[in-house]
Structure 1
Protein backbone atom coordinates (compact mmCIF):
# COMPACT_ATOMS: atom_id res chain seq x y z
CA UNK A 1 0.00 0.00 0.00
CA UNK A 2 1.11 3.57 -0.58
CA UNK A 3 0.92 6.30 2.07
CA UNK A 4 -2.62 7.36 1.15
CA UNK A 5 -3.85 3.74 1.35
CA UNK A 6 -2.19 3.18 4.73
CA UNK A 7 -3.68 6.41 6.07
CA UNK A 8 -7.14 5.45 4.79
CA UNK A 9 -6.84 1.99 6.38
CA UNK A 10 -5.95 3.41 9.79
CA UNK A 11 -8.73 6.00 9.57
CA UNK A 12 -11.18 3.21 8.68
CA UNK A 13 -10.02 1.19 11.70
CA UNK A 14 -10.61 4.17 13.96
CA UNK A 15 -14.10 4.67 12.50
CA UNK A 16 -14.95 0.98 13.04
CA UNK A 17 -13.88 1.13 16.66
CA UNK A 18 -15.81 4.32 17.29
CA UNK A 19 -18.93 2.84 15.70
CA UNK A 20 -18.60 -0.27 17.88
CA UNK A 21 -18.27 1.91 20.97
CA UNK A 22 -21.15 4.17 19.97
CA UNK A 23 -18.82 7.17 19.89
CA UNK A 24 -19.86 10.24 17.95
CA UNK A 25 -16.34 11.66 18.07
CA UNK A 26 -13.06 10.08 16.99
CA UNK A 27 -9.56 10.26 18.46
CA UNK A 28 -7.03 12.52 16.83
CA UNK A 29 -4.56 10.55 14.70
CA UNK A 30 -0.90 11.46 15.27
CA UNK A 31 1.49 9.93 12.72
CA UNK A 32 4.67 9.00 14.60
CA UNK A 33 7.42 9.85 12.15
CA UNK A 34 10.43 9.19 14.38
CA UNK A 35 13.46 7.84 12.46
CA UNK A 36 11.77 8.55 9.10
CA UNK A 37 13.22 11.13 6.73
CA UNK A 38 11.35 13.83 4.84
CA UNK A 39 10.87 11.67 1.74
CA UNK A 40 8.86 9.16 3.81
CA UNK A 41 6.85 11.90 5.53
CA UNK A 42 5.95 14.00 2.50
CA UNK A 43 3.54 11.41 0.96
CA UNK A 44 1.50 11.36 4.18
CA UNK A 45 1.39 15.16 4.20
CA UNK A 46 0.21 15.03 0.58
CA UNK A 47 -2.52 12.57 1.64
CA UNK A 48 -3.80 15.12 4.16
CA UNK A 49 -2.15 14.13 7.46
CA UNK A 50 -1.22 17.18 9.57
CA UNK A 51 -0.42 15.90 13.09
CA UNK A 52 2.98 14.22 13.48
CA UNK A 53 4.86 12.81 16.47
CA UNK A 54 8.58 12.67 17.17
CA UNK A 55 10.55 11.04 19.97
CA UNK A 56 13.60 13.28 20.03
CA UNK A 57 13.96 17.04 20.10
CA UNK A 58 17.18 17.02 18.05
CA UNK A 59 15.75 14.84 15.28
CA UNK A 60 12.61 16.95 15.05
CA UNK A 61 14.64 20.16 14.90
CA UNK A 62 16.71 18.80 12.02
CA UNK A 63 13.87 17.83 9.69
CA UNK A 64 10.62 19.61 10.53
CA UNK A 65 11.30 23.35 10.05
CA UNK A 66 11.74 22.82 6.29
CA UNK A 67 8.67 20.58 6.04
CA UNK A 68 6.58 23.11 7.98
CA UNK A 69 7.71 25.91 5.68
CA UNK A 70 6.33 24.03 2.68
CA UNK A 71 3.04 23.00 4.35
CA UNK A 72 1.15 25.30 6.69
CA UNK A 73 -0.91 23.73 9.45
CA UNK A 74 1.52 20.99 10.53
CA UNK A 75 1.19 20.29 14.27
CA UNK A 76 4.12 18.60 16.02
CA UNK A 77 3.73 16.32 19.05
CA UNK A 78 6.60 15.19 21.26
CA UNK A 79 5.75 11.60 22.17
CA UNK A 80 9.11 10.42 23.59
CA UNK A 81 10.86 11.03 26.88
CA UNK A 82 12.07 14.59 27.41
CA UNK A 83 15.19 15.59 29.31
CA UNK A 84 14.71 18.65 31.49
CA UNK A 85 17.67 20.40 29.82
CA UNK A 86 15.85 20.14 26.46
CA UNK A 87 12.66 21.77 27.75
CA UNK A 88 13.26 25.15 26.08
CA UNK A 89 14.00 23.50 22.71
CA UNK A 90 10.89 21.33 23.05
CA UNK A 91 8.70 24.36 23.81
CA UNK A 92 10.05 26.08 20.69
CA UNK A 93 9.37 23.11 18.38
CA UNK A 94 6.28 21.30 19.64
CA UNK A 95 2.64 22.26 20.05
CA UNK A 96 1.88 19.21 22.23
CA UNK A 97 4.09 17.35 24.72
CA UNK A 98 2.85 13.88 25.72
CA UNK A 99 5.54 12.82 28.22
CA UNK A 100 5.48 15.08 31.28
CA UNK A 101 6.32 12.65 34.06
CA UNK A 102 8.29 14.26 36.92
CA UNK A 103 8.54 17.47 38.98
CA UNK A 104 11.93 18.50 37.56
CA UNK A 105 10.52 18.45 34.02
CA UNK A 106 7.43 20.37 35.14
CA UNK A 107 9.69 23.07 36.59
CA UNK A 108 11.85 23.23 33.44
CA UNK A 109 8.82 23.49 31.15
CA UNK A 110 7.26 26.18 33.34
CA UNK A 111 10.47 28.22 33.19
CA UNK A 112 10.72 27.78 29.40
CA UNK A 113 7.09 28.86 28.97
CA UNK A 114 7.68 31.98 31.01
CA UNK A 115 10.72 32.86 28.90
CA UNK A 116 9.12 32.24 25.50
CA UNK A 117 5.42 32.95 26.00
CA UNK A 118 4.61 29.64 24.28
CA UNK A 119 2.25 27.25 26.07
CA UNK A 120 1.97 23.81 24.48
CA UNK A 121 -0.73 21.37 25.52
CA UNK A 122 0.76 18.75 27.84
CA UNK A 123 -0.13 15.23 28.90
CA UNK A 124 1.04 13.64 32.14
CA UNK A 125 2.60 10.28 31.29
CA UNK A 126 1.56 7.50 33.67
CA UNK A 127 3.68 4.37 34.16
CA UNK A 128 0.51 2.34 33.75
CA UNK A 129 2.18 -1.08 34.07
CA UNK A 130 4.58 -0.05 36.87
CA UNK A 131 7.56 -1.02 34.69
CA UNK A 132 10.97 0.02 35.99
CA UNK A 133 12.44 0.41 32.49
CA UNK A 134 9.76 2.85 31.31
CA UNK A 135 9.24 6.53 31.89
CA UNK A 136 6.07 7.80 33.45
CA UNK A 137 4.75 8.88 36.81
CA UNK A 138 3.51 6.28 39.30
CA UNK A 139 -0.28 6.24 39.37
CA UNK A 140 -0.34 7.17 43.06
CA UNK A 141 1.76 10.27 42.34
CA UNK A 142 -0.42 11.66 39.53
CA UNK A 143 -2.54 14.00 41.71
CA UNK A 144 0.56 15.67 43.17
CA UNK A 145 2.20 15.99 39.74
CA UNK A 146 -0.98 17.51 38.32
CA UNK A 147 -1.04 20.09 41.11
CA UNK A 148 2.63 20.94 40.47
CA UNK A 149 2.03 21.21 36.72
CA UNK A 150 -0.92 23.56 37.15
CA UNK A 151 1.01 25.68 39.65
CA UNK A 152 3.83 25.97 37.07
CA UNK A 153 1.33 27.20 34.48
CA UNK A 154 1.31 24.10 32.27
CA UNK A 155 -1.78 23.45 30.15
CA UNK A 156 -2.58 19.84 31.12
CA UNK A 157 -4.82 18.26 28.50
CA UNK A 158 -4.94 14.75 29.94
CA UNK A 159 -3.02 11.55 30.63
CA UNK A 160 -0.80 9.41 28.40
CA UNK A 161 0.39 5.81 28.72
CA UNK A 162 2.28 3.03 26.95
CA UNK A 163 0.96 -0.35 28.17
CA UNK A 164 3.31 -3.30 28.75
CA UNK A 165 4.25 -5.10 25.54
CA UNK A 166 2.69 -8.44 24.58
CA UNK A 167 -0.15 -8.15 27.12
CA UNK A 168 -3.80 -7.35 26.35
CA UNK A 169 -3.84 -3.52 26.52
CA UNK A 170 -7.55 -3.05 27.21
CA UNK A 171 -7.37 -3.20 31.03
CA UNK A 172 -4.51 -0.68 31.05
CA UNK A 173 -6.44 1.73 28.81
CA UNK A 174 -9.49 1.38 31.04
CA UNK A 175 -7.34 2.05 34.12
CA UNK A 176 -5.89 5.21 32.57
CA UNK A 177 -9.39 6.41 31.69
CA UNK A 178 -10.48 5.81 35.27
CA UNK A 179 -7.59 7.90 36.65
CA UNK A 180 -8.22 10.69 34.14
CA UNK A 181 -11.89 10.84 35.16
CA UNK A 182 -10.92 10.96 38.83
CA UNK A 183 -8.58 13.89 38.11
CA UNK A 184 -11.13 15.72 35.95
CA UNK A 185 -9.02 15.40 32.79
CA UNK A 186 -10.69 14.83 29.42
CA UNK A 187 -7.69 13.89 27.28
CA UNK A 188 -6.43 10.31 26.86
CA UNK A 189 -3.31 9.83 24.72
CA UNK A 190 -3.29 6.07 24.29
CA UNK A 191 -3.08 3.58 21.47
CA UNK A 192 -0.36 2.78 18.94
CA UNK A 193 -0.14 0.75 15.72
CA UNK A 194 -0.91 -2.59 17.38
CA UNK A 195 -3.76 -1.43 19.61
CA UNK A 196 -5.22 1.86 18.39
CA UNK A 197 -8.63 0.30 17.70
CA UNK A 198 -8.81 -1.04 21.26
CA UNK A 199 -7.81 2.39 22.54
CA UNK A 200 -10.52 4.06 20.45
CA UNK A 201 -13.07 1.62 21.84
CA UNK A 202 -12.05 2.60 25.38
CA UNK A 203 -12.21 6.36 24.97
CA UNK A 204 -8.83 7.45 23.64
CA UNK A 205 -8.79 11.04 22.39
CA UNK A 206 -5.36 10.76 20.70
CA UNK A 207 -3.78 7.71 19.06
CA UNK A 208 -0.06 7.69 18.21
CA UNK A 209 0.44 5.49 15.15
CA UNK A 210 3.80 4.85 13.48
CA UNK A 211 4.47 1.57 11.66
CA UNK A 212 0.88 1.16 10.42
CA UNK A 213 1.35 4.42 8.51
CA UNK A 214 5.04 4.34 7.61
CA UNK A 215 5.88 0.64 7.50
CA UNK A 216 8.53 -1.08 9.60
CA UNK A 217 11.53 0.80 10.90
CA UNK A 218 14.89 -0.53 9.87
Structure 2
Protein backbone atom coordinates (compact mmCIF):
# COMPACT_ATOMS: atom_id res chain seq x y z
CA UNK A 1 0.00 0.00 0.00
CA UNK A 2 1.19 3.51 -0.82
CA UNK A 3 0.72 5.19 2.54
CA UNK A 4 1.66 8.61 1.16
CA UNK A 5 -1.29 8.52 -1.23
CA UNK A 6 -3.62 7.42 1.55
CA UNK A 7 -2.48 10.20 3.85
CA UNK A 8 -2.75 12.77 1.09
CA UNK A 9 -6.31 11.70 0.30
CA UNK A 10 -7.39 11.90 3.95
CA UNK A 11 -5.70 15.28 4.43
CA UNK A 12 -7.42 16.63 1.32
CA UNK A 13 -10.78 15.36 2.56
CA UNK A 14 -10.20 17.03 5.92
CA UNK A 15 -9.40 20.33 4.22
CA UNK A 16 -12.53 20.18 2.05
CA UNK A 17 -14.70 19.40 5.08
CA UNK A 18 -13.14 22.29 7.02
CA UNK A 19 -14.02 24.64 4.18
CA UNK A 20 -17.65 23.49 4.37
CA UNK A 21 -17.83 23.75 8.15
CA UNK A 22 -19.23 26.95 9.67
CA UNK A 23 -16.85 26.47 12.61
CA UNK A 24 -13.66 27.08 10.57
CA UNK A 25 -11.74 24.99 13.09
CA UNK A 26 -8.32 23.44 13.00
CA UNK A 27 -8.59 19.64 12.94
CA UNK A 28 -6.27 17.16 14.63
CA UNK A 29 -5.89 13.85 12.81
CA UNK A 30 -5.52 10.91 15.19
CA UNK A 31 -3.96 8.04 13.24
CA UNK A 32 -5.51 4.86 14.62
CA UNK A 33 -2.88 2.11 14.49
CA UNK A 34 -5.00 -0.60 16.11
CA UNK A 35 -4.17 -4.13 14.89
CA UNK A 36 -1.26 -2.95 12.80
CA UNK A 37 2.39 -3.81 13.32
CA UNK A 38 4.30 -1.23 15.41
CA UNK A 39 6.29 -0.31 12.30
CA UNK A 40 3.15 1.45 11.03
CA UNK A 41 4.02 4.29 13.40
CA UNK A 42 6.93 5.15 11.12
CA UNK A 43 4.47 5.66 8.25
CA UNK A 44 2.69 8.22 10.42
CA UNK A 45 5.89 10.14 11.03
CA UNK A 46 6.96 9.85 7.40
CA UNK A 47 3.75 11.57 6.35
CA UNK A 48 4.13 14.55 8.64
CA UNK A 49 1.68 13.48 11.32
CA UNK A 50 2.42 12.87 14.98
CA UNK A 51 -0.75 11.78 16.78
CA UNK A 52 -1.26 8.05 17.40
CA UNK A 53 -4.54 6.58 18.67
CA UNK A 54 -4.79 3.16 20.29
CA UNK A 55 -7.80 1.27 21.63
CA UNK A 56 -6.13 -1.29 23.86
CA UNK A 57 -3.68 -0.57 26.65
CA UNK A 58 -1.52 -3.62 25.89
CA UNK A 59 -1.17 -2.74 22.22
CA UNK A 60 -0.50 0.90 23.04
CA UNK A 61 2.34 -0.13 25.35
CA UNK A 62 3.89 -2.27 22.61
CA UNK A 63 3.96 0.66 20.20
CA UNK A 64 5.01 3.13 22.87
CA UNK A 65 7.98 0.97 23.86
CA UNK A 66 8.95 0.46 20.22
CA UNK A 67 9.07 4.23 19.68
CA UNK A 68 9.92 5.56 23.12
CA UNK A 69 12.98 7.29 21.70
CA UNK A 70 10.61 9.36 19.53
CA UNK A 71 8.30 10.60 22.29
CA UNK A 72 9.35 14.18 21.61
CA UNK A 73 7.70 13.89 18.19
CA UNK A 74 4.71 11.68 18.99
CA UNK A 75 1.44 12.38 20.74
CA UNK A 76 -0.48 9.40 22.10
CA UNK A 77 -4.24 9.20 22.59
CA UNK A 78 -6.05 6.34 24.34
CA UNK A 79 -9.32 6.19 22.39
CA UNK A 80 -10.86 2.88 23.48
CA UNK A 81 -12.69 1.78 26.60
CA UNK A 82 -10.36 1.95 29.57
CA UNK A 83 -10.51 -0.44 32.50
CA UNK A 84 -9.73 1.14 35.85
CA UNK A 85 -7.06 -1.45 36.62
CA UNK A 86 -5.15 -0.45 33.46
CA UNK A 87 -4.89 3.26 34.26
CA UNK A 88 -1.63 2.83 36.15
CA UNK A 89 0.11 1.59 32.99
CA UNK A 90 -0.72 4.60 30.81
CA UNK A 91 -1.11 7.57 33.16
CA UNK A 92 2.42 8.86 32.54
CA UNK A 93 2.45 8.05 28.82
CA UNK A 94 -0.71 9.20 27.06
CA UNK A 95 -1.48 12.80 26.18
CA UNK A 96 -5.28 12.48 26.09
CA UNK A 97 -7.83 9.91 27.25
CA UNK A 98 -10.94 9.98 25.02
CA UNK A 99 -13.10 7.52 26.95
CA UNK A 100 -13.89 8.81 30.43
CA UNK A 101 -17.40 7.46 31.02
CA UNK A 102 -17.88 6.62 34.71
CA UNK A 103 -17.02 7.96 38.14
CA UNK A 104 -15.05 4.88 39.19
CA UNK A 105 -12.70 5.50 36.26
CA UNK A 106 -12.47 9.21 37.08
CA UNK A 107 -11.53 8.36 40.66
CA UNK A 108 -8.75 6.01 39.51
CA UNK A 109 -7.40 8.46 36.93
CA UNK A 110 -7.33 11.20 39.56
CA UNK A 111 -5.57 8.93 42.07
CA UNK A 112 -2.90 7.81 39.61
CA UNK A 113 -2.38 11.30 38.20
CA UNK A 114 -2.00 12.76 41.69
CA UNK A 115 0.70 10.19 42.46
CA UNK A 116 2.87 11.56 39.65
CA UNK A 117 1.82 15.21 40.12
CA UNK A 118 -0.04 15.37 36.83
CA UNK A 119 -3.35 16.85 35.70
CA UNK A 120 -4.61 14.27 33.20
CA UNK A 121 -6.42 15.61 30.10
CA UNK A 122 -9.63 13.67 29.39
CA UNK A 123 -12.67 13.73 27.14
CA UNK A 124 -16.07 12.54 28.32
CA UNK A 125 -17.39 9.76 26.11
CA UNK A 126 -21.03 10.24 25.12
CA UNK A 127 -23.35 7.59 23.69
CA UNK A 128 -25.53 10.02 21.75
CA UNK A 129 -27.42 7.32 19.85
CA UNK A 130 -28.06 5.28 23.04
CA UNK A 131 -26.89 2.04 21.46
CA UNK A 132 -26.44 -0.90 23.80
CA UNK A 133 -23.24 -1.86 21.99
CA UNK A 134 -21.53 1.45 22.79
CA UNK A 135 -20.02 2.82 25.97
CA UNK A 136 -20.58 6.34 27.17
CA UNK A 137 -23.02 8.57 28.95
CA UNK A 138 -26.33 9.64 27.46
CA UNK A 139 -26.61 13.29 26.49
CA UNK A 140 -28.85 14.09 29.44
CA UNK A 141 -26.33 12.60 31.89
CA UNK A 142 -23.28 14.52 30.77
CA UNK A 143 -23.60 17.76 32.75
CA UNK A 144 -24.14 16.07 36.12
CA UNK A 145 -21.20 13.75 35.42
CA UNK A 146 -19.05 16.66 34.34
CA UNK A 147 -19.75 18.53 37.57
CA UNK A 148 -18.66 15.47 39.55
CA UNK A 149 -15.46 15.22 37.51
CA UNK A 150 -14.64 18.84 38.28
CA UNK A 151 -14.28 17.79 41.92
CA UNK A 152 -11.19 15.76 40.98
CA UNK A 153 -8.22 18.17 40.93
CA UNK A 154 -5.93 15.92 38.89
CA UNK A 155 -8.33 15.53 35.96
CA UNK A 156 -8.67 18.15 33.24
CA UNK A 157 -11.89 17.78 31.25
CA UNK A 158 -11.13 19.12 27.78
CA UNK A 159 -14.17 18.17 25.74
CA UNK A 160 -16.45 15.42 24.49
CA UNK A 161 -16.14 12.29 22.34
CA UNK A 162 -18.66 10.11 20.54
CA UNK A 163 -18.92 7.36 17.95
CA UNK A 164 -21.63 7.44 15.32
CA UNK A 165 -23.89 4.42 14.78
CA UNK A 166 -23.07 1.94 12.03
CA UNK A 167 -25.56 3.00 9.40
CA UNK A 168 -25.69 4.21 5.82
CA UNK A 169 -28.11 6.96 6.84
CA UNK A 170 -25.83 9.99 6.51
CA UNK A 171 -28.54 12.36 7.72
CA UNK A 172 -28.88 10.40 10.95
CA UNK A 173 -25.12 10.40 11.45
CA UNK A 174 -25.09 14.17 10.94
CA UNK A 175 -27.88 14.54 13.51
CA UNK A 176 -25.86 12.57 16.08
CA UNK A 177 -22.79 14.73 15.56
CA UNK A 178 -24.82 17.94 15.64
CA UNK A 179 -26.40 17.00 18.96
CA UNK A 180 -23.00 16.53 20.59
CA UNK A 181 -21.71 19.75 19.05
CA UNK A 182 -24.70 21.60 20.46
CA UNK A 183 -24.05 20.10 23.91
CA UNK A 184 -20.46 21.23 23.81
CA UNK A 185 -21.56 24.78 23.03
CA UNK A 186 -24.16 24.69 25.80
CA UNK A 187 -21.60 23.54 28.38
CA UNK A 188 -19.03 26.09 27.19
CA UNK A 189 -21.50 28.94 27.74
CA UNK A 190 -22.06 27.95 31.37
CA UNK A 191 -18.57 29.13 32.32
CA UNK A 192 -17.54 26.32 34.63
CA UNK A 193 -14.28 27.00 36.44
CA UNK A 194 -11.34 24.75 35.55
CA UNK A 195 -13.05 23.63 32.35
CA UNK A 196 -11.89 24.11 28.78
CA UNK A 197 -14.20 22.44 26.25
CA UNK A 198 -11.68 22.82 23.49
CA UNK A 199 -12.00 19.38 21.91
CA UNK A 200 -14.83 17.64 20.10
CA UNK A 201 -13.66 14.17 19.07
CA UNK A 202 -16.06 12.80 16.46
CA UNK A 203 -15.72 10.90 13.22
CA UNK A 204 -13.87 7.86 11.97
CA UNK A 205 -13.08 6.47 8.52
CA UNK A 206 -16.71 6.23 7.37
CA UNK A 207 -17.91 9.60 8.62
CA UNK A 208 -15.05 11.95 9.56
CA UNK A 209 -15.94 14.52 6.90
CA UNK A 210 -19.49 14.83 8.25
CA UNK A 211 -18.09 15.16 11.76
CA UNK A 212 -15.81 18.02 10.73
CA UNK A 213 -18.69 19.81 9.02
CA UNK A 214 -20.57 19.57 12.34
CA UNK A 215 -17.72 20.93 14.45
CA UNK A 216 -15.31 18.09 15.20
CA UNK A 217 -11.73 19.21 15.74
CA UNK A 218 -10.38 15.71 16.42
CA UNK A 219 -11.03 12.84 14.00
CA UNK A 220 -9.90 9.25 14.52
CA UNK A 221 -8.96 7.58 11.24
CA UNK A 222 -7.38 4.18 10.73
CA UNK A 223 -8.61 2.12 7.81
CA UNK A 224 -8.46 4.98 5.28
CA UNK A 225 -4.79 5.45 6.17
CA UNK A 226 -3.54 1.90 6.69
CA UNK A 227 -6.03 -0.43 5.00
CA UNK A 228 -7.86 -3.36 6.52
CA UNK A 229 -6.68 -4.68 9.88
CA UNK A 230 -5.51 -8.24 10.34
CA UNK A 231 -7.49 -9.37 13.36
CA UNK A 232 -5.71 -12.72 13.39
CA UNK A 233 -2.64 -10.96 14.79
CA UNK A 234 -2.16 -9.25 18.10
CA UNK A 235 0.70 -6.89 18.75
CA UNK A 236 0.96 -7.36 22.50
Determine if the TM-score, normalized by the shorter chain, exceeds 0.5.
yes
Give SS of 2:7's match: helix
Within 5 Å, give how 1:199-214 maps onto structure 2.
199-214=211-226
Q: Which moved further from structure 2: 122-131 or 162-171?
A: 162-171
2:195 matches 1:191: no
How far the C-alpha of 1:16 sits from its partner, in A, is 0.4
- Asked whether 1:94 is paired with 2:94, we answer yes
Residue 182 (structure 1) aligns with: 186
**1:181-217: CA deviation from partner (whole Å, max 9, x where unpaired):** 1111332100101111111111101000010111111
Shift of 1:130: 0.5
Q: 1:140-178: per-residue Cα shift (whole Å, max 9, x none)? A: 111111112111121111000001111421000000001
SS at match of 2:206: coil
Give 1:28-67 correspondences, 5 Å limit.
Answer: 28-67=28-67
Q: CA deviation at 1:111?
A: 0.5
Q: CA deviation at 1:115?
A: 0.6
- List alignment gaps of at least 5 residues for structure 2: 189-196, 231-236
Q: CA deviation at 1:91?
A: 1.1
The structure 1 residue matched to 2:175, chosen from 160, 171, 175, is 171
How far, CA to CA, are the matches of 1:56 and 1:39 in structure 2?
A: 17
Highest RCO, 1 vs 2 (Cα 8 Å, sep ≥ 6): 2
Give the unaligned 5+ runs of structure 1: none
Task: Give the direction of change, closer, same or farther, for the CA distance of 1:71–1:125 in structure 2 (3 Å limit).
Answer: closer
- Specify the alignment match of 1:137 in structure 2: 137
- Matched with 2:162 is 161
TM-score, structure 1 normalization: 0.95
Count of matched residue positions in the alignment of Structure 1 and Structure 2: 218
Normalised by the length of structure 2, the TM-score is 0.88
| Contact 2:109–2:120 (Cα < 8 Å) also in 1 | no
**Alpha-carbon distance, 1:119 to partner:** 2.6
- 8 Å CA contact 2:160, 2:184 repeated in 1: yes
CA contact (8 A) 1:123 1:158 kept: yes
d(CA) in 2 for partners of 1:70, 1:204: 28
2: CA distance between counterparts of 1:68 and 1:13?
Answer: 31
